[in-house]
Structure formats: structure tokens, C-alpha cells
Amino acid sequence: MIRLERVTKTYPKAARPSLDNVDVWIEKGEFVFFIGPSGAGKSTIIKLLLREITPTKGRVVVNNRDVGNMPSWRIPTFRRSIGCVFQDFRLLPNRTAYENVAFALEVIGRSQGVARRVVPEVLELVGLGGKEHRYPHELSGGEQQRVAVARAFVNRPLVLLADEPTGNLDPDTSIEIMRLLDRINRTGTTVVMVTHDSNIVNQMRRRVIEIENGRVVRDQPRGVYG
């Protein structure tokens, strides 16, 4: 499903590589935490998986596609198989919850009819039934992140990437979001989450990959933050 093979990423002008010879293998349907201190290289992994950047050395394979060598015209289609959630939600402020999710469908060419059928369903799934027509500023942080999760999931992606999705949320709200990601994972979606929220990692007891100075220092099934 996701393979990093001897991946090294050195940014231009950087003294040392952000990722140094990293080997990671993630099976379909897994739930994986990437943990580690700031600047360890966690976000670099997310960017590599999204093909926002390409590896300096090694191979990145997502959904059986060699992402590093993918021609740029294939990137849009590739990204449709991946859902993304970020710390800062990245919602469009002038669109309602419904419109934010529908936007993601429309811009990839789905009809309005499909949106009308699918969007209420997925908003219901994330627990926002009845709040479809609220604007982001009328929603709490946790609710905004639910909209973002709904948007990421509405295309039924094979992989969900979450970059510190609870970074801006209080502990109780964070746990609700984690329950939601767990539910999505149970539908068969692979979830890759970058975090340094130790509570969450300890409660979930899922696979933990710890990165330090660009290297994998621990890879543990059902791990804790440590």
C-alpha cells in the first residue's frame, strides 16, 4: 500500500537530510502514527506521500504507484485516491460545511446530483448532521476539523493522511476526532497520522513509527508514545 524504500530527502541548502535512508512498509488498512520531535522529518513524509516534493534518493510507492517518478500531469488523478487533513483545517471561509465538502467533489468533475446524495451522508457520518449550512466561523474547532475529515473522506480514498489533525484542539475534542479517524480506518482506509500528542498515541495503541533526525528509531505494533 505505502512503501518508502531507502528514502533520503535533502532540501536545497540544508546541512543534513530531513529524511536519511528511511525504510517503511505500511499494509492496506493499517493505522500508523509517525511521532517524533519537531523538525524530525515527519511532515516531509506527508509531503512525499502527497507528491508535493520528490525524494532525493530512494523510492516512494503509494497505491502501487511510484510517486517520485510520476509525471506531473498524473498528479491530480493520483491525489484523488488520497484524503488529507491538516492542523489548520484549510476550509474555505466563504462556503458552508456542505459547500466545502461539495466543492471537493465538483472540482474533480462529479455532478451536483452526486454531491446532493453523498455530501449529507458523509456529514452525517462525521457527526455534523443538522449543521450542513453553517459557515466555518459558526463552527467550533472540532466541528471544523470534522468538516475537513468529511471532505477528505467523501471521495472514499484508499489512504487518509493526517498531519497533526488534533494540534489545534483540546484533549476531549481531540479524542472525538480520533474516534472518527478510527471509524474511517475500520472501513478499510489506510490512515497515516503525524502527531506529537502523546495522550492520543497511548490511548489508541496502534502501530507507532518514531522518527528522529530523519531516521526511523522505533517501529512498534500497538506502541505507545514512549
Q: Which is nearer to other proteins, 49 or 175 (CB)?
A: 49
Name which of 79 and 131 has its Cβ closer to other proteins. Answer: 79
What nine digits make up the cell of 58?
530512494
User: Measured from the CB atom, is 103 or 225 closer to other proteins?
Assistant: 103
Footprint (CB under 8 A) of other proteins, residues 30-59: 50, 52
CB of 212 vs other proteins, minimal distance in Å: 28
Cell of residue 131, nine digits? 449543521
Return the number of the residue (167 or 213) whose C-beta is nearest other proteins: 167
Helix runs in the chain, H state only:
42-49, 75-79, 97-106, 112-125, 141-153, 171-186, 198-204
Is the distance from CB of 83 to CB of 70 less than 8 angstroms?
A: no
Distance of closest approach, residue 106 Cβ to other proteins, in angstroms: 6
User: From CA 140, how far away is CA 143, in angstroms rounded?
Assistant: 5
111 conformational bin, left if phi > 0, alpha if psi -120 to 50, beta if neither: beta
Burial 161-186 (b: 16+ CB within 10 A, else e): bbbbbbebbeeebbbbbbebbeebbe
Distance, CA of 42 to CA of 163 (rounded, Å): 9
Task: Please report whether residue 69 would count as binding other proteins according to CB under 8 A.
Answer: no
Q: Which is nearer to other proteins, 100 or 201 (CB)?
A: 100
Of residues 117-176, those binding other proteins (CB under 8 A): 151, 155
Member of 39, 75, 121, 133 binding other proteins (CB under 8 A) = 75
Piece of the chain touching other proteins by CB under 8 A; list 30-38, 86-94, 119-127, 180-188: 86-94
Non-local CB neighbours of 16 within 8 Å, separated by 6+ positions: 10, 213, 214
Stretch that binds other proteins, among 16-24, 107-115, 183-191, 205-213 (CB under 8 A): 107-115
Q: Say whether residue 217 binds other proteins (CB under 8 A).
A: no
Positions in the binding site for other proteins (CB under 8 A): 50, 52, 72-73, 75-80, 82, 84, 90, 92-93, 103-104, 106-109, 111-112, 151, 155
